[in-house]
Each structure stands twice: as C-alpha cells, then as structure tokens.
Amino acid sequence: MSAPDISARATVDREHSLFLLREMLRIRRFEEKAAEMYSLQKIHGFLHLYIGEEATGVGAMQAFTQQDAIVATYREHGHALARGMSANVLMAEMYGKATGCSHGHGGSMHFFDASRRFYGGYAIVGGGLPVAVGLALANKMQKRPAITGCYFGDGAVAEGEFHESLNLAALWKLPVVFLCENNLYAMGTALERHQAQTDISRKADAYGLPSSAVDGMDVLAVEDATRKSADFVRGGNGPCLLEFRTYRFRAHSMADPDLYRTKEEIETWKKRDPIVLFEAKLREMGLLADADLARIESEIAAEIAEAVRFAEASPREPIEDLLKDVEAGPSK
Amino acid sequence: MTKLTYREAVRAAMRKALRDDPRVFLMGEDVGRYGGAFAVSLGLLAEFGPERVRDAPLSESAFVGAGIGAALGGMRPIVEIMTINFSMLAMDQILNNAATLRHMSGGQLSVPLVCRVATGGGRQMAAQHSHSLEGWYAHIPGIKVMTPATVPDAYGMVLAALREPDPVFIFEHATLYPLEGELDEGATSFDITHAAVVQSGSDVTLITYGGTLGKTMQATKRLASEGIEAEVIDLRTLRPLDTPTIVTSVAKTHRAVIIDEAWRTGSFAAEISAQIMEKAFDDLDAPVARVCSAEAPMPYAKHLEEATLPQVDQIIAAAREMVPRHG
C-alpha cells in the first residue's frame, strides 16, 4: 500500500485522540480477557476476536449519533463497546448470564442494545445488510434525520444479500453507509480465492454508489472517511460504501487452528497494528505521555476486572423464562 | 354486509390499514404499477402513491429483510411475496432474523412484520409456483402462520396481523382469490386464535385449512347423502395451533381425517395427527387418516395436477372407510 502509515492531519485534537486510543485499547483488552476466559471455559460457543481491526470499529462509529442505527456482524465486540455498551453486559452475555445484554440468549455473536439503536450481531454472513436497508427505509419514510451504519466483512460481498441490498438502497436512495471491514479472509478463504474482483470498493460502481477504499489500520483516516460519507448520506444523497482494508491478528474464531495463512503474513500486518501506530503518532505529536497511557490502561483494567466480577457474580437466566421472549407477552 | 371476493377483501383490508395508520406500507414485486401478480393491490398505488406502495426489485431476501428492518425502525410493513416457492429466497431473513430477533436479543427487539404469500396449486403453474409449504413456516417458533380460507378471514387476518408485535405470515391460497363471500367491513375485532367449526357433525371430524376447505365442504354434502355426518374444522391459524378445538371435536366424533394440500411426509398434517394421538388417543375409534398431495413436484398437465392434489373423492373415501355403516 502506497498510502502513508498514518494520516497526516494538520491538527489533531488531543482529547478526542486520547478518546480514540482509549476506545481501541478498551476493545483490545476486553477481547484479550474474553480469550482468557474462553480458555478457562467460562465462555463457550464461538468467540470471534476483532483484535487488529479496532480502528475500523472505533473510527467509523464516531460518525454516527445515538439517533442513528447500527448493524454489525458476529465479530461485534468492538462495535458494541464503541457504541457505548458496557463491558459488564457484554461479558455477562458471553458468560450466558441473565444480566447479559441478550439475557444469555445470544452469546458472543449476538449483542443487541435497543436503547442505543444497536441492532446487533448477525451471524449469517450478509444477513444484516437487508435489515440495515430496512432501518434506513424506516428513517426515510418517517422523515427522521437519522442514518444507518452497516458493518460487514469481505466474506459478505460474495453473498447475494450484499448485491440485493446495495441495489435496493441505491434504487430508493436510502440513508445507509455500508462499512466493509475487509480483513482479507472469509473465515479461512483468502479474498483472491473468493472474489473475481478483489477491489471491493469497485463493486459499488455497479449500483451507482459512491465508494472509496480506506486504510483500515489508521483510525483517523477511518473516522475522516466515515464522517464525510455520513455527511453525504445525511444530505439525502442516497447510500455509499466504504471499504476499510484491515486485518485480524487472531484466528477466525477460537476454534480455528489458522492453517491457511503464514506466520510471516501475520507478523507483517502486526507491524501496522492500529493501536501501536496511533500511539506512536500521538507521541510524535507530543499528545501522549507515558503517564497518559498508564492512566488509560489502568482505567481499562479496572473496567474489565469489574466486567469479569459482574459476569461471575450474575445469576443465570431461570429456565422457567426460556420461552418468555419467543413471542411478545400479552402485556406488550 | 358487503358481497365481495377474497381478493377484494384482502385489498379492502390493506386499504383500510393504509388509510388508518401512516406506519403501514406495502412492498413487494409488482404490487404497484402492475397491481399485484394476483391483482390484489390493484388501485392502491394510485390511492397511496409510490412511497407507500413500493414496487421492489426481484430481491426477495433484500425486501423481506428490509421489511424486518423497517419494522424494527417503527414501521408496519406489509410485504407481499408473489408465491410461496419464491419465499424460499427469503428464508434466511425469515428464519434467522424475523423469527429469531426477539428471543436472541433477550426480548429487546420486536419485528411487527406482515408477510402475505400466495400458496397452493390447482392452476397448472407446475413445480415452481404451486406448492403448499406453509407447514414449514408453522414449524418455526417466533412467527404466526395464518391461512385464511374465507372472505371474512381474508379481510380480518390482514388487520389482525398488523396489530401483532411479532412477524405474521398470511398464506393466501391462489385459487381462492375469485371466491365470493359476505363481509362486514365495519368489524373491528378479529379472532385469530381459534379454529372454526364450520359444520357440526357427529360421525367424523374433517380437519383442514386454506385451499382445501372448499373441497372438504363438497365432500360433506355427499357424505351426508350417505348418512355420514361430518364435522368440519377450518384451522385458520396454523401457529399457534388451536389444539383444544380439534381435541373437543375428536372426543365427540371419535374419528379424524386431515386434509392438507402439502406433501404427507413430515407434514403439518402429521403434526395434527400427532397432537390427536397425544391428547385424544383414548377417544379414537379408528386410526387418524390423512389426505395429502402425492409425493411429487407439482406437474403441469391438468390431469396430472388433479391426480397430485387432494380431491373430493379421496376425502369421501377416507371418511367412509373409518365410519361404520349405518343401518
């Protein structure tokens, strides 16, 4: 990639920058703890870590207000945290506890928060895109200024739902920003082994959507591009697509032995760790001191320790409530 | 009371909903300018405009999913899927999202989506437009499945479905659209939880729904001429199933024949049979019988299609076989 390692914005607001760094670190440390708890068999099922991709979740989320709707994927710990969900309810969800955001019905792949318009974790690849289009349709029909941000991965662009959704959103000029987190692998199948056209941003051309490819390891570049796209969409110009070129440092899930890529490839990408890059940039600009980082790390450590304590101490959902939310209760 | 067709009844209900509730809109293939593949929505585009009567591209997954998203976003979408065979293209959205989101989100999300789907055979449309797969839908927790067989139900079920906080699928048997009936358009409350005992009888219970109700009623006339008094249950709603009405009837007649246009194997008819076995076994004087479609993809040729679908003679034969000869 010929792009500079990190975007060279003339002015970088210190407070906001430290916030972005903090959010990325918060996701990183949360997931490291989740992996540890999975190894200790406190967390079960599938656990898909986002480590390496934090800049896309955190950067893009800055462009959305609390009135906007967010749709994510099964690799959505980062999106949920960046949206403002507490580490407590997420950890408890992975523990399968009643205090989890989804009462233990969803687990790692299915975080939801209706109060934050976080429409959650979809584990059928591409399955969230039509829902995002519909949320945008509702916004448009109700003449609300809100827009929808829809995250998905490179694997999803092989699904028919991706193409159907882009076409429908463009046809009806719906206010949705499609956010492709291209981490180069659909589970274990490399992009060039699943796409005839590997330039994902170009797929938007077929539907008349403006699109661009962005360095997904540069949180400021991601934020900038998403703000521009969100402004465009808020202006009633219809949808657009951003492709964030990123990489996951961990395996697809905790069950994945990671046999389909080389250690060298992973190590090469780790040199562009979005957190390391951003820390270095902030230090270079004199915006980050050791004491800042120590304070941030210590606050995050306390938050995550509390999340684990909360999850451990929380009750399980009573089995008597198993069928409670299959349908609405009579009072609703 | 107004006399109108099943098609007009569905249209009247949608018109009323579109007039009464600004959250309601109709979306599907050719529902606007074309007027609906079965002319159900004819005229609605002119009355309500393209924002609320939306012609969708041939993207079943996207427009059903968009219906789910719009419902999550506070709208009350009515999504028309042209035929039940096409609904397979939207099955991911229906099963994995519509039916699942409330429970999977711990009760946070509500998907008040109404999907209207044409179902059934009898029009020589062959094997990709004619099947009766509503039993598959009735397998899924989290959605309601309605199968209107009459003009009042064609009307009332649309309006009742729009009041539900969860996804409702309405399967309209395509041969019923020209059916005429009486409708009270002033009705405001609609029972969707009970099966209907359409005809009372003492010798055998004929259990059916949707497109086979008419054939079943024809069969009862000939059975009556032979001295067999059949009770007829129109299930109306497949999920949740009104099992008590079935059990009460079987307790009276001691015999049951299920008439279902779907294939027999793994069918909704099998489910009803199992319910009777579980809840009314001691009342039975004969094994439960099923009259279903032949286990073949629906053929085009008229004589073959007729041979595939349940027919009046088969219903009569099944009932006759289990009822002891009178006198």
Instruction: Find the closest chain B residue to A67 by CA distance.
Output: B73
Q: Return the percent helix, strand and coil in chain B, to nearest 5.
A: 40, 20, 40
Question: Closest to B59 (Cβ–Cβ): which among A103, A142, A168?
Answer: A168
Query: Which pLDDT score, from 0 to 100, does residue A330 have?
Result: 62
Confirm whether B60 is a catalytic residue.
yes
Question: For chain B, what percent of residues have pLDDT higher than 90?
Answer: 97
Q: Which residues of B66-95 are buried (b: 16+ CB within 10 A; e: fewer)?
A: bbbbbbbbebbbbbbbbbbbbbbbbbbbbb
**Pairing state of beta strands B76-81 and B180-183?**
unpaired
Residue of B25, B93, B141 with shortest CB distance to A130: B93
What is A19-321's CATH topology? Answer: Rossmann fold (3.40.50)
Residues B212-216, mean pLDDT to the nearest whole number: 98
**Which residues of B are less than 8 Å from A142 in CB distance?**
73-75
Q: Nearest-CA neighbor of A152 among A60, A290, A29, A63?
A: A60
Task: Give yes or no for residue B310 having a pLDDT over 60.
Answer: yes
Domain locations in chain A? 19-321
Give chain A's residues under pLDDT 50: 1-5, 8, 10, 331-332
| Chain B nearest C-alpha distance from A272 (Å) | 35
ipTM beyond cut 0.90? yes
Question: pLDDT digit string (tens) for B160-202?
Answer: 999 999 999 999 999 999 999 999 988 889 999 999 999 999 9
Q: Do A168 and B57 touch (CB under 8 A)?
A: yes
Instruction: Kindly report the backbone phi and psi dihedral angles of residue B40, in degrees, each rounded to the nearest multiple of 5, phi listed first.
Output: -70, -35
Q: B182: which strand partners? A: B3
Q: Does B97 touch chain A (CB under 8 A)?
A: yes
- Asked if the Cβ–Cβ distance from B69 to A134 is below 8 Å, we say yes
Question: Using CA atoms, how far apart are residues B131 and A98, in angstroms rounded to an integer?
Answer: 42
The closest of B291, B322, B319 to B224, measured between CA atoms, is: B319
Please name the residue of chain A whose CA is at the shortest distance from the CA of residue B72: A135
- Separation of alpha carbons B8 and B4, rounded Å: 6
> What is the pLDDT, as a whole number, of residue A7?
52
Residue A91 near residue A111 (C-beta atoms within 8 A): no
Per DSSP, the three-state class of A118 is: strand
**Domains identified in chain B and CATH numbers:** 2-183 (3.40.50.970), 196-322 (3.40.50.920)
Catalytic site residue from B129, B131, B173, B254:
B129
Which chain A residues are closer than 8 Å to B64 by Cβ? 130
For the segment B92-145, what is each residue's pLDDT rounded down to a tens digit? 999 999 999 999 999 999 999 999 999 999 999 999 999 999 999 999 999 999
* A253, containing H or E segment: none
Residue A2, CB half-sphere, CA atoms under 13 Å: how many? 0
- This prediction has a pTM of 0.95
B193 touches chain A (CB under 8 A): no
Please determine, for residue B326, whether its predicted confidence score (pLDDT) is greater than 80. Answer: no
Q: Which two tokens stand for residue A103?
A: 């009462």
First to last CA, chain A: 53
What are the structure tokens assigned to A164, written together? Answer: 């159907």
* Residue A158 CB neighbour total at 10 angstroms: 16
Q: Is B325 helix (H, G, I), strand (E, B) or coil?
A: coil
Residue range B244-270, pLDDT digits in tens: 999 999 999 999 999 999 999 999 999
Residue A71 near residue A151 (C-beta atoms within 8 A): yes
State the pLDDT confidence band at B327, using cuts at 50, 70 and 90.
Answer: very low
